[in-house]
Chain A
Amino acid sequence: MNSREDVVITGWGCVSPLGDDVATTWVSLLRGDSARGEITCIPVEGCRVTNGAQATLPELTGVSKKEISRLSRASRLAIPAAREAMADAGILNSKGLSVFSRLELSISTTACGMEHGESFLHDIWSRNPRHLASKISRYPAHQQIGDLQQHLGFSGPSMIVSNACASGANAIGHAADILRAGFADIVLVGGYEALCELVFCGFDSLQALDPHLCKPFDLHRRGLMLGEGAAFLVMETSAHANKRGAKIKGRLAGYGHTTDTHHITQPDPTGAPLEKAIQRALLQAGLKPSEIGYLNAHGTATIFNDGAEALAFARVFSEGIGGVRISSTKAAIGHTLGAAGTLEAVFALECLRTGDIPPQINSTHPIPELATCLAQPGDKLTKPAVLSVNLGFGGSNAALVFTAA
């Protein structure tokens, strides 16, 4: 990015396994809660691991039961999260619809409305082809875009990025690119992911799920916990926000992304591509590593991910890693894949807003590289910026730097 156009955030919202809004989720995170439990929303019998972090679907006020029955689980997570973000930014009218008839969307997901695709296949295989059209039409990602636009009253260009687990951070960075290039003045950014059988069994087949506790950055970590949720942010140029009198709640100061070619499912063990993404984000933000007070790590709790991340962090913060507080909130809400980047960005922004840092739970024997910097209950933010990083299958790495309003 060449332009220094200021990109600000004027609202955010989320639905997570810890709560159906930001306030509830944030209080639970600070308390050190974990949403781990038996998965009941999808069939998992026969898997090696049968628990994870399942969200309670929020009520959708003003939507008929018939229409709700047609919505994918992904849309039922995304719509309330987007509505909370838009209300927070003051861009909903009295009818709960967008005040902007055209509103650009930058969206991330990996599994779309997969349960409808799965149901379609079951019907085909059982030679019971009923309601096939409604099932298959609700599956693709652009149908969730249609659901958002219909229920929140806007249209406009949409970009759906599916860079695996880094998608959410990419969606936020892409929105900043759009704003800085002058392609738009305001963008609704969001990520959503619903638990589904195909993806759950996929991670189970890779033996990447921890059967007991998800322990990011712990010497005895054995794998991740899958979760689901959605988070949305309203991002705009500072000029646009000021013109409409919006309260600026945070700034996206920097974005960096890289692709590593090491392996489809494993990051470069040296962490070098992630380090490069972080350095790019810091460079764009014009900040030094020492100015970062909190780092929301990807921290899936797999052997390979956490090892690579720790090496990258150790190099980026080589002048004193003890000065930054690090935690992976995936131990609490699970790995939400396409929603992870946006959910964790919301947590980073809440950290800036409140000064509270979510503690690292379940890590009782931290790996040596991060032993002095994992966040503890009650830790407070003492520096002006926070960092959120994500890695994904296919070698995607992304880093976001946020500063306070």
Chain B
Amino acid sequence: MKNPVSILSFGISSPGGTTPEALEDFSQWPVESVHEAAGRRLRDVSRIHLAVEPVNRWRLKPRLRRASPLSHHLMESIAQALEARPDIDPARVGLVGAFFLGCLEYSVRFYKGLTTEGRRFASPILFPETVVNTPLSHVVAELGIGGPVYTQVGDTSCWVSALRTACLWIENGDADYVIVAGAEEFEPHLLDAFHSLRWFTKSHTLRIAEGAGAILIGRQTSGAIADITRIADGYSYRTRSQAVAAAVECLGVFDQNLPVLDTATSWIAETASSLLTHRHLIHLSRGPHHEAFTASSAWNTILAARQRQHARMIVPHWGLSQNIAAVEISRAANV
């Protein structure tokens, strides 16, 4: 990025609630034990129940009646970010969504339907909701967002790629403001997938969560919540040993004296802790980490932006399967 951008507002939809305080204490999040789809193992997960306020406000919208849970999480977080800045016209706002898993629940249901009932009986109602960019399409239609809209996919680190796209649009004048959102939904087959990938380690419990987070960014301005001053992206790996080298290279982009937010989960937490022994590691949440991938990336960005103890900090985004990226968050400048 060439110029810093400011975080002007944010929105949260998490199992712990929709306020920023919910992100500060994971131990208060509801936990339920869910069976793997094929295995006998029970895993603790944190879910959002769509019948509960305020997330249920979107269920009454005709367009969202059949929409995936992910669409509801996304709607809530983005609506909050826009509602916090009524002075900004949504028609001047762009939107980039980052997704790791996408509309998983409906995709599994659709595929299960066609394999059990026959291909001719595949559901034409479910299929459109399996398309990755459908959730953002709902958001644009309901909230009147008028700027450019991209759906981006990748591992957790694609949140940073989405942030980079947003900065590019602001830099080029394609949008005055951009919402960057990350959202994920839980589906039990995930547990089988992550078990097979050995992401449930004994030393670092992976507690899966779902939800969404969104930030509204614009050109650097006074009165912002915080600034994004540097982005490092594109440190890819294929093996776990390559991940160490990628992480070293990525974090080497930043001032080595800056504190680093503790964001790592699963197997990469071991890599992270070995790399960060000489760095000032910051914990902004109590209780065990929950992993909601791109939604967690958004939540970590919001936590870093709201804290007031440190003038600058690095927020790493540890993609668990391909890429490592990081963002420097700074106290808002007086511009």
Measured CB to CB, the residues of A under 8 A from B are: 1-3, 43-48, 102, 104, 110, 112, 118, 120-125, 127, 129, 132-133, 136-137, 140-143, 145-146, 149-150, 155-164, 170, 174, 177-178, 180-183, 197-198, 201-207, 257, 259, 261, 264-265, 392-396
Q: How far is the CB of A173 from chain B (nearest CB, A)?
A: 9
User: Is B234 within 8 A of A163, CB to CB?
Assistant: no
How many B residues touch the partner, as a band?
A: 35 or more
User: Is B150 within 8 A of A201, CB to CB?
Assistant: no
Q: How many A-B pairs fall under 8 Å by CB?
A: 197
User: Is A259 within 8 A of B140, CB to CB?
Assistant: yes
Residues on the B chain within 8 Å of A392, using CB:
133
Residues of B97-130 contacting chain A, CB below 8 A: 99-100, 107-108, 110-112, 114-115, 118-120, 122-124, 127-130
Partner of B107, one of A46, A104, A198: A198
Given the known interface contacts A132-B196, A142-B155, A259-B137, the answer about A177 and B131 at a Cβ–Cβ threshold of 8 Å is no
Partner of A158, one of B122, B161, B174: B161
Partner of B197, one of A125, A133, A141: A133
Residues on the B chain within 8 Å of A394, using CB:
131, 133-134, 136-137, 151
User: Is B233 within 8 A of A157, CB to CB?
Assistant: yes
The residue of chain B having its C-beta at the shortest distance from the C-beta of A2 within the complex is B173
Q: How far is the CB of B168 from chain A (nearest CB, A)?
A: 5
For residue B152, CB closer than 8 A to chain A, the reply is: yes
Q: How far is the CB of A131 from chain B (nearest CB, A)?
A: 9
Given the known interface contacts A133-B197, A198-B111, the answer about A160 and B234 at a Cβ–Cβ threshold of 8 Å is no
User: Is B172 within 8 A of A1, CB to CB?
Assistant: yes
C-alpha spacing A395/B1, complex, angstroms: 29
Residues on the A chain within 8 Å of B161, using CB:
157-160
Q: How far is the CB of B248 from chain A (nearest CB, A)?
A: 14
Residues of B213-231 contacting chain A, CB below 8 A: none
User: Is B172 within 8 A of A122, CB to CB?
Assistant: no
Residues of B125-168 contacting chain A, CB below 8 A: 127-134, 136-138, 140-141, 145, 148-155, 158, 161, 164-165, 168
User: Is B108 within 8 A of A121, CB to CB?
Assistant: yes
Residues on the A chain within 8 Å of B127, using CB:
202-203, 205-206
* Stretch from B261-269, B302-310, B319-327 forming part of the interface with A: B319-327
Partner of B114, one of A104, A159, A201, A265: A201
- 8 A-B pairs besides A142-B153, A181-B2 with CB distance below 8 A are A1-B174, A141-B153, A142-B322, A159-B165, A160-B154, A198-B107, A206-B124, A393-B128
For residue B38, CB closer than 8 A to chain A, the reply is: yes
User: Is A140 within 8 A of B321, CB to CB?
Assistant: yes
Residues on the B chain within 8 Å of A122, using CB:
115
Residues on the B chain within 8 Å of A162, using CB:
99, 132-133, 151-153
Tell me which of A145, A150, A205 has the highest count of chain B C-beta atoms within 10 A of its own C-beta.
Answer: A205
15 contacting pairs across A/B (C-beta < 8 A)? A1-B172, A1-B173, A46-B119, A110-B131, A121-B111, A124-B37, A129-B192, A136-B197, A145-B154, A162-B153, A201-B119, A204-B119, A206-B128, A264-B137, A396-B133
User: Is A205 within 8 A of B124, CB to CB?
Assistant: yes
Partner of B236, one of A123, A155, A259: A155
Residues on the B chain within 8 Å of A182, using CB:
2
User: Is B174 within 8 A of A393, CB to CB?
Assistant: no
Partner of B238, one of A132, A133, A150, A204: A150
Minimum-distance CB pairs A-B, first 5? A157-B234, A394-B137, A132-B196, A261-B141, A202-B127
C-alpha spacing A170/B169, complex, angstroms: 13
Q: How far is the CB of A80 from chain B (nearest CB, A)?
A: 20
Q: How far is the CB of A252 from chain B (nearest CB, A)?
A: 14
For residue B25, CB closer than 8 A to chain A, the reply is: no
Measured CB to CB, the residues of B under 8 A from A are: 1-2, 37-39, 99-100, 107-108, 110-112, 114-115, 118-120, 122-124, 127-134, 136-138, 140-141, 145, 148-155, 158, 161, 164-165, 168-169, 171-174, 189, 192-193, 196-198, 233-236, 238, 319, 321-323
Q: How far is the CB of B108 from chain A (nearest CB, A)?
A: 7
C-alpha spacing A170/B145, complex, angstroms: 18
User: Is B192 within 8 A of A146, CB to CB?
Assistant: no
User: Is A202 within 8 A of B172, CB to CB?
Assistant: no
Partner of B321, one of A137, A150, A158: A137
User: Is B130 within 8 A of A198, CB to CB?
Assistant: yes
User: Is B155 within 8 A of A140, CB to CB?
Assistant: yes
User: Is B152 within 8 A of A161, CB to CB?
Assistant: yes
Q: How far is the CB of A71 from chain B (nearest CB, A)?
A: 13
Q: How far is the CB of A228 from chain B (nearest CB, A)?
A: 17
The residue of chain A having its C-beta at the shortest distance from the C-beta of B325 within the complex is A157
The residue of chain B having its C-beta at the shortest distance from the C-beta of A166 within the complex is B133
Given the known interface contacts A142-B319, A158-B234, A159-B164, the answer about A180 and B111 at a Cβ–Cβ threshold of 8 Å is no
C-alpha spacing A396/B140, complex, angstroms: 11
User: Is B110 within 8 A of A198, CB to CB?
Assistant: yes
Residues on the A chain within 8 Å of B235, using CB:
155
Partner of B196, one of A2, A118, A129: A129
The residue of chain B having its C-beta at the shortest distance from the C-beta of A392 within the complex is B133
Q: How far is the CB of B291 from chain A (nearest CB, A)?
A: 16
User: Is A3 within 8 A of B172, CB to CB?
Assistant: yes
Residues on the A chain within 8 Å of B319, using CB:
142
The residue of chain A having its C-beta at the shortest distance from the C-beta of B145 within the complex is A259
User: Is A161 within 8 A of B150, CB to CB?
Assistant: yes
Residues on the B chain within 8 Å of A161, using CB:
150-152
Given the known interface contacts A155-B236, A177-B172, the answer about A396 and B164 at a Cβ–Cβ threshold of 8 Å is no
User: Is B153 within 8 A of A140, CB to CB?
Assistant: yes
Tell me which of B153, B165, B173 has the highest count of chain A C-beta atoms within 10 A of its own C-beta.
Answer: B153
Partner of B192, one of A110, A124, A158: A124
Given the known interface contacts A261-B137, A394-B133, the answer about A181 and B172 at a Cβ–Cβ threshold of 8 Å is yes
User: Is B173 within 8 A of A163, CB to CB?
Assistant: no
C-alpha spacing A304/B133, complex, angstroms: 20
Q: How far is the CB of A57 from chain B (nearest CB, A)?
A: 22
C-alpha spacing A120/B39, complex, angstroms: 14
The residue of chain B having its C-beta at the shortest distance from the C-beta of A159 within the complex is B161
User: Is A137 within 8 A of B197, CB to CB?
Assistant: yes
Residues on the A chain within 8 Å of B130, using CB:
198, 202
User: Is A136 within 8 A of B154, CB to CB?
Assistant: no
C-alpha spacing A181/B168, complex, angstroms: 7
C-alpha spacing A355/B129, complex, angstroms: 42
User: Is A393 within 8 A of B131, CB to CB?
Assistant: yes
Residues on the A chain within 8 Å of B110, using CB:
198, 202
Residues on the B chain within 8 Å of A120, using CB:
189, 193
C-alpha spacing A132/B36, complex, angstroms: 13
C-alpha spacing A160/B236, complex, angstroms: 14
